[in-house]
Structure 1
């Protein structure tokens, strides 16, 4: 019920469940506002909803995007929200105006990835084989040449105008100021997700062949980590960029990338409490915790400085997979959604 504040049995001090609320359908995507004031959730069927993060009450229902919304992303300031749809549309809700979004048609392919630039305030979107960058007003800043296959993920390199795009055959590094030809990290495989380290020195991607691949951006040197149980769709860098957390199985697998030799030849830290594979892993932006969404219905929250390694909190969605999680910018709030349509918001202090 909205407004409920409760700590689970055995939870670490400072972590509590604030409320839970149903949205009726499988939660596809979540976006918690940077200031922790609003939660936006996209169900598998129907309209995305905006929910007050303090009370759990409904604020607004957003326009539908054909057969559904696939991805959501706030800009860094928390003023504008972007939504990508199965109908090939990009919606930009400027200044939290939920009734009058800017609508851009990107074609017939699904819009599956969004990434706001931290400085320019432009949003990149991928649709099928294409990637383009848009202003908040819906003007096209640049449209890059099509890739040879569907783009699976995009990510801005920190403090630059370089956008990484993952597709079969490797990673293309597009530069907005010189968009004609990308730098390419060629790799014979299918990347599924990618993420930059905080300083932009390393790029990591999880892959369909149950591996994780690292690239050193300056030299193009690469490393590959094997041994995962399944496709790796879950990766996230620690805020300082020294550690990479991955899924690819039932445990959080954390690689130490902060040493001179990087993760090569090292043994990762394994954080285990789930009974089946993970759906997402996310570091708290301030770095004190890491959260994992499990297909076993558990949300686990771990302190990154605690040993022995036991979760600080575990919430059971009771038969529903945990399908999406999102932190606020300062890490004081975490929202999780499940396949049953349940949302839960947690406070972390």
Structure 2
């Protein structure tokens, strides 16, 4: 992205940054507006976007590494660790153990929905919990779960695994999933905002999708690397992905993506995109690169706005707040930034 070098990076003019000292495994904006970051040393750091210059206090959430991280159902944050624990961290930094799922087991994936549901995967099992932290059920899979996602209404949860994905109705009395089959190893998973499509990232440097109405398969290939981030735009028109030296955006309209070429944004320097996050309202994608560059790209025009300069390690976490006024990122070296994109008076 050499063409962006002369521009002002928004982190310098509208943001703040910290050296947190360990790999930023995941980040999320809580439903109260606070920013949480889960680190490879087991700590969770919390920042307040309304007070960007204040300290980012940390709390020891896990004895070991944070492996998975997301916003909790109501407020605060949910994390899974290699200590086998599912932990809630409150906005004030207080921690509560929601479940101990095995001392020698890893809680590799977590998800939560604003209706109170929480999900955590350990090996082949997907555990569901209610808003009080009580376990609702355990859903078995044929192999280790590679990723989990709730649909927009929180009525279904999807889990990827070897040879496909399983789609479960959470409230069903008979726990029999709809199995979406495709040979190979499936990891990151996403459900389109309207609930019509499920997409997974595969070990074979490709994506696979299913149109739920008729089971139609969709194969999206040509990636030079594995895709770790999948992000739909707010209305589900586009799916942005990492794993190439540009932001690859697939059209999910007009019969796409099959038979349609993807749009490529912000490419040209041969550096891989390591993270993407679509704006919660507009058709704009935030992208982080393996060299630490962060930028914004508008899908319609291809216009690029630089956010953070390269040089602080590959981007490992990236996310927006609910209204799209703030963007946060974290890197493999423990550098983290928070940028205020709201209009200035």
Per the normalisation by structure 1, the TM-score is 0.89
Q: CA deviation at 1:226?
A: 1.5
User: 1 CA distance for matches of 2:200 and 2:248?
Assistant: 14
The match for 1:65 is 62
Distance 1:40 1:14, change over 3 A: closer
The match for 1:150 is 144
The match for 1:321 is 314
User: 2 CA distance for matches of 1:117 and 1:64?
Assistant: 21
Which segments of 5 or more consecutive residues in structure 1 lack a partner in the other structure?
Answer: 1-7
Q: Does 1:253 find its partner at 2:248?
A: yes
The match for 1:171 is 165
Distance 1:113 1:243, change over 3 A: same
RMSD, aligned CA: 2.2
Q: Does 1:201 find its partner at 2:207?
A: no
CA contact (8 A) 1:35 1:328 kept: no
Q: CA deviation at 1:242?
A: 0.9
Distance 1:241 1:257, change over 3 A: same
User: 2 CA distance for matches of 1:206 and 1:100?
Assistant: 32
User: 2 CA distance for matches of 1:278 and 1:12?
Assistant: 18
Q: After superposition, what is the alpha-carbon deviation per residue over 1:129-183, rounded to whole angstroms, capped at 9, x for unaligned?
A: 1101112332101211x21211010111222521110000111111222242211
Which segments of 5 or more consecutive residues in structure 2 lack a partner in the other structure?
Answer: none
CA contact (8 A) 2:237 2:252 kept: yes
Q: Does 1:45 find its partner at 2:45?
A: no
Deviates more, 1:236-245 or 1:296-305: 296-305
The match for 2:338 is 345
In the alignment of these two chains, the number of paired residues is 334
Q: CA deviation at 1:99?
A: 2.4
> What SS does the aligned partner of 2:43 have?
coil
The match for 2:14 is 17
> What SS does the aligned partner of 2:271 have?
coil
Q: CA deviation at 1:344?
A: 0.9
> What SS does the aligned partner of 2:276 have?
strand
Match of 1:162 among 133, 141, 156: 156
Q: After superposition, what is the alpha-carbon deviation per residue over 1:184-240, rounded to whole angstroms, capped at 9, x for unaligned?
A: 001111111111111001111111111111111122111111211122222111101
> What SS does the aligned partner of 2:175 have?
strand
User: 1 CA distance for matches of 2:307 and 2:52?
Assistant: 22
The match for 1:5 is none
> What SS does the aligned partner of 2:194 have?
coil
User: 2 CA distance for matches of 1:237 and 1:112?
Assistant: 22
The match for 2:185 is 190
The match for 1:4 is none
Match of 1:83 among 79, 86, 92: 79
The match for 1:3 is none
CA contact (8 A) 1:29 1:324 kept: yes
Aligned structure 1 segments of 4 or more residues deviating by more than 6 angstroms: 12-15
